[in-house]
A and B are shown apart, each in its own frame.
Chain A
Amino acid sequence: MKAALLTILILLLAMPVLAQQAPPTWQQGRTPDQASSPLAPHAQPPAPKAASEIPVNTIKVPAGFKVELWASGIDNARAMTWGDKGTLFVSSRGAGNVYAVVDQNGRREVKTIAKGLQMPNGVAFKDGALYVAEISRITKYEGIENNLDSVPQPKVVIDTLPKDLPHGWKYLSFGPDGKLYFNIGAPCNICMPPETHAAIVRINADGTGLEYVARGVRNSVGHDFHPVTKELYFSNHGRDWLGEDVPNDTLHHVVQRGVHFGYPMCHQGDILDPAFGKGHACSEFAAPLLKLGPHVSPIGIHFYRGSMFPPEYTNRLFIAEKGSWNKTDKIGFRVTMVTLQAGRPPKEEVFAEGWMGAGGQFWGRPAYVQEMKDGSLLIADDYAGAIYRVSYQK
């Protein structure tokens, strides 16, 4: 009953913020003195780079690790999930495609298995079916791995999610409880969102039983569950136009379901919003586990579960930072790793970098990380349209 009410509420509140005659969403929240700021989001290139034009050898990793170009020509490659039979499914956002990458004797074949979807950023796999999250719906492709060349019609899991485009693209995964977890972002840069938005939610695999897992979450398009504690960790993008160096983008840990993480009242756990923070204190909200740096744009996060990397990598959290736009001196454009140890503050270090040169020009943007069966790490770059593989040898 409660779920049904919530669904109705979502339907009622899902009025798209389709303000045709309004400034673009990314400009919302600028102060008058920021009106002529040259800062603007980086546009996705119209096509992926050719393999020969990807300077993979400029990516630096710790000693003993090796980076190779694993697959290319994948327009806007974003989130990755494995099928049971070894197919890597890759999502995209603006490109509207979903891809299947099949490894055949060391050569990767990329098939576009769905196109024309509305920002299909979320992909998850369970019991032979690929689940795809678009803006307002989740569908599933049953028996997909047996039918990569004659893709079955998808079935609707849920199609009553908000239709707002800003921060409406989703990261989708199956939790340890078998439920589908995904985000419903704030439909703006900074605003008082409807009750339905700025959250991470979960539903049953059949689309029923919507529940709120975390609230006050502006834009989280990456999460993972700790391999041991099974608890949810997620990345989050802080608001723009508050300053070059604030607020930090953040990493969060959900210790209790339904907790509020502060947006839009409080940012990075300790900065009250100049408008929406009035009458509040940051202590009302759950603080982030870690500040990741201003505007670095953390997207995919992944706990390392494999055994190829040295033992200290076990349960380390990799974070793909797509890189900043709302900051004059660009930062991010790298993959970091966070070591979490009970009783100690989390420690963040750089794992892979080199997508951006010293002059602030960049040729790629790491978006998501995923592990291979052998324990090597895949990094998807949505800007170059490529996937890199990082392996380790003693």
Chain B
Amino acid sequence: MTTRGPSTASATRSKTRHFLLALVAGATALAATPVADAADAEAGRRKAEPCAPCHGPSGNSTMPTVPSLASQPPTFTYYQLVMFKRDKRRDPQMTPFAMNLSDADMQDLAAYYAAQTPASPPAVSAVATAEAGGRLVKQHFCSSCHTPALMGQKHIPRLAGQQQEYLLKQLRGFKAQTAADLDGSMTMSAQPLSEQDIELLADYLAHLPPGGGS
């Protein structure tokens, strides 16, 4: 692999110009915007149009196997897109989309989806399921990384209110060591789970209202 000096790619150039302008104007609010990773949620809204048929118009999926992206931490969405683009995560639908995204596109999309309001799950699970699911969440320290409300943080996804079929697929994949994993944490965490645990967890999480409500 050969490297060149700093590129003059238009995205970089416009960001640089933006930064310089901000400096010149002494506009502290603008200057405080991070220079490189200044994601643009409004641009992300436009760029997300092709995503809507599957992920839903505001990132709330109605397709059981497609994850909701609304209110996902921006680093999570960004990193997953990078993984699709770099062939570290594969999906027949997602891979072709991600291949054509620039770094700025991915950050804009991530910022857009992070700002969307998550829809409430359609129904609550049975009391017994909820109790068992809650116990499993505690037992397996899910909230250590996914946060107590299971809303995710940084590169770690929101689980509360996620599509149930998608959660099942992911958990089974981690258990089978076939699902793409950023750093191995989920593969390791899923090993002790039984198929029944996975079903209880997916059911519990899918019906958990996002936003920290109980």
Q: Which A residues between 38 and 53 are near B, CB-CB below 8 angstroms?
A: 38, 40, 42-47, 49-53
| A contacts, CB < 8 Å to B | 20-24, 27, 35-36, 38, 40, 42-47, 49-58, 68-73, 94, 107-110, 354, 356-364
User: Mind listing 19 A-B residue pairs with CB under 8 Å?
Assistant: A20-B191, A21-B139, A35-B148, A40-B153, A43-B155, A46-B79, A46-B86, A46-B88, A47-B86, A53-B7, A53-B12, A53-B102, A58-B36, A68-B5, A73-B3, A109-B2, A357-B32, A358-B33, A358-B34
A38 to B104, CA, bound (A): 26
Q: A21-B139, A21-B192, A359-B34 are in contact. Are A46 and B16 (CB under 8 A)?
A: no
Chain B: which residue is nearest A72 at the CB level?
A: B3
Chain B: which residue is nearest A51 at the CB level?
A: B3
Report the count of interface residues on B (CB-CB < 8 A): 49
Chain A: which residue is nearest B19 at the CB level?
A: A58
A-chain residues with CB within 8 Å of residue B192 when the two chains form the complex = 20-21
| 19 extra A-B contacts, CB within 8 A, seeds A27-B144, A69-B5 | A20-B189, A20-B191, A23-B141, A24-B145, A38-B153, A51-B5, A52-B9, A53-B102, A53-B104, A57-B16, A58-B36, A69-B3, A72-B3, A73-B1, A73-B3, A110-B1, A358-B31, A358-B33, A361-B34
| Majority-rule SS of A interface residues | loop
- The 5 A-B pairs of least Cβ separation, nearest first, read A361-B34, A52-B7, A357-B34, A363-B36, A43-B155
Determine which of A50, A71, A94, A362 lies in contact with B34 in the assembled complex, contact meaning CB atoms within 8 Å: A362
CB distance from A362 to the nearest CB of B (A): 7
Let me know if A363 and B154 touch, CB within 8 A. Answer: no
Let me know if A21 and B140 touch, CB within 8 A. Answer: yes
| B contacts, CB < 8 Å to A | 1-7, 9, 11-12, 15-16, 19, 31-38, 75, 79, 82-83, 85-86, 88, 102-104, 139-141, 144-145, 147-148, 153-156, 182-183, 185, 188-189, 191-192
B-chain residues with CB within 8 Å of residue A108 when the two chains form the complex = 2-3
CB distance from A376 to the nearest CB of B (A): 15
B-chain residues with CB within 8 Å of residue A354 when the two chains form the complex = 35
Chain B: which residue is nearest A363 at the CB level?
A: B36
CB distance from A250 to the nearest CB of B (A): 27
A-chain residues with CB within 8 Å of residue B6 when the two chains form the complex = 51-52, 54-57, 68-69
Determine which of B19, B86, B103 lies in contact with A53 in the assembled complex, contact meaning CB atoms within 8 Å: B103
A68 to B7, CA, bound (A): 11
Let me know if B139 and A40 touch, CB within 8 A. Answer: no
A-chain residues with CB within 8 Å of residue B34 when the two chains form the complex = 356-363
Determine which of B4, B86, B182 lies in contact with A43 in the assembled complex, contact meaning CB atoms within 8 Å: B182
A357 to B144, CA, bound (A): 28
A-chain residues with CB within 8 Å of residue B75 when the two chains form the complex = 43
B-chain residues with CB within 8 Å of residue A94 when the two chains form the complex = 183
A100 to B9, CA, bound (A): 27
A69 to B79, CA, bound (A): 23
Let me know if A109 and B16 touch, CB within 8 A. Answer: no
CB distance from B166 to the nearest CB of A (A): 20
A210 to B148, CA, bound (A): 45
A-chain residues with CB within 8 Å of residue B2 when the two chains form the complex = 107-109
Let me know if A44 and B3 touch, CB within 8 A. Answer: no
A124 to B2, CA, bound (A): 24
Let me know if A359 and B3 touch, CB within 8 A. Answer: no
A-chain residues with CB within 8 Å of residue B148 when the two chains form the complex = 35-36
Most-contacted residue by chain B among A36, A40, A46, A52 (CB, 10 A): A46
Most-contacted residue by chain A among B3, B15, B33, B144 (CB, 10 A): B3
B-chain residues with CB within 8 Å of residue A53 when the two chains form the complex = 7, 9, 11-12, 102-104
CB distance from A295 to the nearest CB of B (A): 16
A-chain residues with CB within 8 Å of residue B3 when the two chains form the complex = 51, 69-73, 107-108, 110
Let me know if B35 and A23 touch, CB within 8 A. Answer: no
Let me know if B144 and A23 touch, CB within 8 A. Answer: yes
B-chain residues with CB within 8 Å of residue A357 when the two chains form the complex = 32-38
CB distance from A333 to the nearest CB of B (A): 11
A-chain residues with CB within 8 Å of residue B154 when the two chains form the complex = 40, 42-43
A-chain residues with CB within 8 Å of residue B155 when the two chains form the complex = 43
Q: A43-B182, A53-B12 are in contact. Are A359 and B5 (CB under 8 A)?
A: no
CB distance from A200 to the nearest CB of B (A): 27
Let me know if B183 and A44 touch, CB within 8 A. Answer: yes
A9 to B38, CA, bound (A): 52
A21 to B197, CA, bound (A): 14
CB distance from A71 to the nearest CB of B (A): 5
Let me know if A55 and B183 touch, CB within 8 A. Answer: no
Let me know if A43 and B5 touch, CB within 8 A. Answer: no
A73 to B7, CA, bound (A): 14
Let me know if B83 and A47 touch, CB within 8 A. Answer: yes
B-chain residues with CB within 8 Å of residue A47 when the two chains form the complex = 82-83, 85-86, 88
A108 to B37, CA, bound (A): 26
A278 to B58, CA, bound (A): 55
Let me know if A46 and B82 touch, CB within 8 A. Answer: yes
A-chain residues with CB within 8 Å of residue B102 when the two chains form the complex = 53
A-chain residues with CB within 8 Å of residue B145 when the two chains form the complex = 24, 40
Let me know if B144 and A24 touch, CB within 8 A. Answer: yes
